[in-house]
Chain A
Amino acid sequence: MPATARKTMPKTPDHPLEALIRSDRIPHIWCPGCGIGTAFAAALTAMATSGLDLQKTCMVSGIGCSGRAAGYVNLDSFHTTHGRAIPFATGLKLGNPALNVVVFSGDGDLFAIGGNHFIHAARRNMDLTVICLNNLNYGMTGGQVAATTPFHARTTTTPMGNPEAPFNLPLLAWASGATYVARWTILHTRELTECIQKAIRKSGFSFIEVLGPCPVNYGRRNKEKSLQTLKMYQERTIIRNDPRMDDLEVDFTRQVVLGEFVDKDRPTCIENYDKTCRILE
């Protein structure tokens, strides 16, 4: 196309999140039908509308499909080692408490290899917002069983069905001491965005679980087409605030509970450190 012709083309309208996306890195790696993009967009929208100083806002990811999120956000962003996003984020926050630190990663990264870091960051009430895209399996490596894979589900390493029980992530977060816990699916973008915004603005350890489909690896092996997964998100979920925490298992043969489960206050790790360890002038 000649240069003059290009100039006369109508300008493509800017994406509403243009300023927060590294558009020079698009196309992204996520597969068609994947839920990560929706959760990522919700996180970016929440950040953009949070009123926080975005120059002081960072994203930290681990390894995996969701771990690539840090590579697409136009903020200070850190793509760390597998499972270690939370301790890296802990150092970032402790080194400069003025930073708002958001961890965006997947269920395999945060709850299998990184599970120990999650419970300890929640216990010490580290001021982080942790967003977990839970797609029920290890997507990046081709669909292996995860700590979140439902009982009897098929994956490449559970060809006869998963013999193990999955984690109830909100229960784990609550028991570990998180001060904010919510769960939504990628179908519930408005609620999800609102909760992420609330979590980012709130001090203390916040955890948001986002259920998202992995049609290529998980759906295909469990006879779930993308649209069927979304239908399930619509028909077999129920929003319940203040539920029994042990009722929060992800089991779509029954109903999956969504909502804002924990919203309480207790001093953060940094507040307690300053009060306990620093000599007051």
Chain B
Amino acid sequence: MTGDEACAEGALAAGCRFFGGYPITPATEIAEHMSKRLPEVGGTFIQMEDEIAAIASVLGGAWSGQKSMTATSGPGFSLMMENVGLGVCTETPCVVVNVQRVGPSTGLPTMGAQADMMQARWGSHGDYRIIALAPMSAQEIFYQTITAFNLSERYRTPVFVMTDEIVGHMSEKVVIPPADQIVCEWRPKPKGRKDRFLLYKPGKNGVAPMPAAGEGYNVHVTGLTHDEKGYPVMSVEAQQQMMDRLCHKIDDNLDDIVMTEAHGLEDAEVVLVSYGISARTSLAAMHQARAAGMKVGFLRLITVWPFPQERIAALAERVKALVTVEINLGQIHLEVMRAAAGRTACHLVGHAGGTIISPDQVIATLKEVL
């Protein structure tokens, strides 16, 4: 099946039962698949009037008690950003898939790119933390969509699956394991007296339990700066406390959230850093380079946000160079440079989008560097 279909199947396996969508190539197949499959499993699909409505309905779906999701591409991702902020601020678990295509604007409809990575991090206004995963195959998009749901439920936050047109449209073998082999997490549920319940009082892992609408907790949910009860408070102190809570639940659990995969780092003189479809380019390039005698390693970012800062910093201490491979003009490259902090040379293999990067391009850069 295609990456898009595998994404939809992953969502269903994770327990997603509400999808609010809007058509956009190359993400449409996810909505199409969900429209067929959701009613079969007792869920609901709705095609909303635009992407703003799609994400708003997903937040509503999450508060109704359902695991909820939407999928889009660059232009729709831009439209969703304000409500992503509402999701972060109100600690609403949901999954947003971005099957990235070339931008800015309508770009090359609809050839692949990886140029929304910084938008994923900073797209909504204000300070906040976000979780973003980057799958590199149809099989992996299946599992990462499940992981995205689990992280969103565990940390009560929107989670992005940042895939791309190439992975989304590629047909590959996908193994769907039996349901009892899939771990599905749910948001922590409140216990104790309903009238004393505090909607944002952190429990385990810094995350507050979350009831659904209709359970008798009379919750108030607002995008205004609020206290632990959820009530708006107009003060500098309340803002600081709320932001501390929102940031701490991510920052204090980096070991749990940040996932990377290492290849040949032990003796590496140069390390490739990549994610998503470009990870496959990088892996091929690494094997070719090693066959030619070059000591090249590869660090794959499975979680792109939060960024594996310490991992990169440690590598920067001991390698000759870090080479970031991504289909953009240097977004994660900037983040690698920031983490390396001048301790090693940082190079980019990237372009403006529309096609994958070939291993030859990576090899050419490696030859210059080594």
Binding site for B on A (CB under 8 A): 22, 24-25, 55-56, 58, 60, 70-71, 74-81, 83-84, 86-96, 98-99, 116-117, 120, 273, 277-279
Contacts and interface: CB of A to CB of B under 8 A. Distances in A.
Interface residues of B, number: 45
B60 A92 contact: yes
Contacts, number: 142
Contact of B217 (A71, A76, A92, A98): A76
B221 A95 contact: no
B302 interface: no
B65 interface: yes
Contact of B64 (A81, A92, A120): A92
Interface of B: 17-18, 20, 35, 39-40, 44-46, 48-50, 52-54, 56-66, 68, 82-83, 86, 212-224, 231-232
Contact of B18 (A56, A86, A95): A95
A58 B220 CA distance: 10
Contacts of B48: 87, 90, 120
A255 B221 CA distance: 40
Contacts of B220: 22, 70-71, 77, 79
A84 B83 contact: yes
A202 B82 CA distance: 33
B223 A91 contact: no
B61 A91 contact: yes
Contacts of B45: 277
A74 B212 CA distance: 15
Contact of B65 (A71, A74, A90, A95): A95
B interface secondary structure, majority: mixed
Contact of B86 (A75, A80, A120, A277): A80
A129 B60 CA distance: 16
B120 to A, nearest CB: 19
Contacts of A71: 220, 222, 231-232
25 contacts: A58-B213, A58-B214, A60-B60, A70-B222, A71-B232, A74-B218, A75-B218, A76-B63, A77-B221, A79-B224, A81-B56, A87-B49, A91-B56, A91-B57, A91-B58, A91-B59, A92-B61, A94-B18, A94-B61, A95-B63, A95-B64, A96-B64, A96-B65, A99-B213, A120-B49
Contacts of A74: 218
A89 to B, nearest CB: 6
